[in-house]
Amino acid sequence: MTKVLITDITGAATVPESIETKVAVGSVWSLASVGVTLVASLIATPFVLRGLGPEAYGVYAIVQVMIGYLAVADIGMGDASTRFAAAAFARGERHEEASALWTSLVIEAIVALPLVLVVGLFAKPIVVHAFRLPSYLENAAAAALAIAALGFLAKNAATVFNTPQMVRLRFRSVAVINTVCGVLQIGLVPVVIWMGGGLVSAVVVIAAANTLNLLLHLQQARVLLPEVTHPAPRRDLFRPMLRFGIALVVSAFVITLLTQTEKLFLARFDSARAVAYYAVAYTLATIVAIIPRAVKGALFPAFSQLEGSAVDRLYARAVRSLSLVIAPVAVVMCLIAEPFLRIWAGAEYARYSLWPFYVLLAGNAVGALAHVPTVLLKGLGRADVIARLQILEIVPFLVSAALFTRWWGALGAAAAWSLRMILDTALLFRVASRYAHISIDTSPRERIGIASAAALLGAPLLLLALPDPSIPVRVAVAVMTLIAYCAVAWRSLLTIGERSRLIEMAEALMWRRPANNRLGV
């Protein structure tokens, strides 16, 4: 595959500033999209929790997990389309770009349609025999599962049709479309429940939002790449795209096993109510991962176009930036979790979800860094390495998750999940070190800054040992911690170049310079 390689006057490869700026600005747009969607979800979820009740909400969470297993139906074609189309775009071959898109869509359809049909036909036996559900919810759960499977088809196709935007690094349009559809979905679910709808109506809204998302991405694809209006799959692309995609789909299926199966164990060994408590804790704990998820979306097309030390430089900056951001976010979340749960979901959830949340947050904070080596390996075409690592984790995780969940319920499920995530992160960084390198040399000033930052972040956690500190005290401590940490990070942890780049990125986002100069396009 042709990649972009830029060298400076010494002959050393560097990251083109326009690409680096686009990645940074794209990450902010993605983060803004996820942030807006998150805020909408935080506002809507209490109404959904109360409208459905713990048992129906537990079934709602189980349906989402089951649909997650349909990730195999994607065959990795969303990422495969981006990677192969990026190569064609770099060569200026627009017809080849359109062919990559249509080839990936055909491969996806060949696998997805029969699988979704099977799920729809056998939805009732699946929910009846696999889980311990109340009998009055069985029919609704089966209908919800079948409808969600149809919505999943539209969601998969949308990840292919957003390819022209991704390869051109048009992250703003992707973010806007995903945000609009996400907020509509989140906002309409409590509305239909309030109007008398139930579990099935909520899933219908989700499927409709996925369909709208597909249509909007299709329209953007037609504008950016008119050639896409003429379906032109290429037979010679099937084999290389399948080779790349199969590794991704194995990885996606395995990661679903590794990140969602503990919920099914809870449904089997405990109850749908326990799943609801765990699902709330899980949802809140994954907030810390919104930043790396946003960065991941911008990094993948960049890693797919760069090579040599340019990859090393971008990789190192991504890891360093995430490390500086994730730690304070996790500490603040710990400080405000208990009162937030009590106000947001109710006293019952605050009592049963809090400690699983703490344990899950630890795993998410460490695992958030794993997004960077994961995207690096995928961008370099080594998704097979990721799949092999995750396959090795299956048996230890499933055994520990089953035993821990049976012994300690939701807390045991959280412990198994977080331990697996920490191990996975360590393995991914070790493997990725063969392809990219991060310098760990630090100056005395940086070492003092790291020690100061660690002390600042660790001290507020002592507040959790006090008997029920008030909300104003928690908020005040969190705000002072953030202010002090930002001051230390700016003065001692960021280089002069990084400070300048942050200022430049802020100016770009505020539209202070013409678009062509700002993004180098």
Task: Please enumerate in sequence order all residues whose Cβ is within 8 A of that of 274, keeping only pairs 6 or more positions apart, or say none.
Answer: 58, 266, 267, 352, 409, 410
Query: Higher confidence at residue 6 or residue 43?
Result: 43
Within 178-329, strands assigned E span none
Instruction: With beta carbons less than 8 A apart as the criterion, state whether 263 and 130 touch.
Output: no
Q: Which two tokens stand for residue 55?
A: 């048992």
Mean pLDDT of 110-138: 81
Per-residue pLDDT reduced to its tens digit, 411-422: 999 999 999 999
Q: What is the pLDDT of residue 15?
A: 44
Comparing 109-118, 162-171, 225-234, 292-301, the range with the smallest average pLDDT is 292-301
Residue 139 confidence (pLDDT) above 80 = yes
Residue 326 confidence (pLDDT) above 80 = yes
- Give the H or E element holding residue 184: helix 171-194
What is the residue extent of each domain of the chain?
6-440, 443-521
DSSP codes of every residue in 305-337: HB-THHHHHHHHHHHHHHHHHHHHHHHHHHHHH
Per-residue pLDDT reduced to its tens digit, 289-304: 877 777 776 677 777 6
pTM for this prediction: 0.60
Mean pLDDT of 251-261: 74
Distance of CA 466 to the CA centre of its chain: 34
The full 3-state SS of 464-489, as one line of letters, equals: HHCCCCCHHHHHHHHHHHHHHHHHHH
Count CB-CB contacts under 10 A for residue 440: 6
Q: Which two tokens stand for residue 22?
A: 């686009």
Q: What is the pLDDT of residue 463?
A: 65
Distance CA 130, CA 263 (A): 12
Per-residue pLDDT reduced to its tens digit, 182-204: 899 889 999 998 888 888 888 89
Per-residue pLDDT reduced to its tens digit, 379-402: 777 777 887 888 888 888 889 999
Q: What is the DSSP letter of 93?
A: -
Judging by DSSP bridges, how do beta strands 6-7 and 13-14 pair with one another?
antiparallel
Exposed / middle / buried, residue 302 (Cβ in 10 Å: 0-12, 13-18, 19+): buried
Q: Which two tokens stand for residue 91?
A: 């060569």
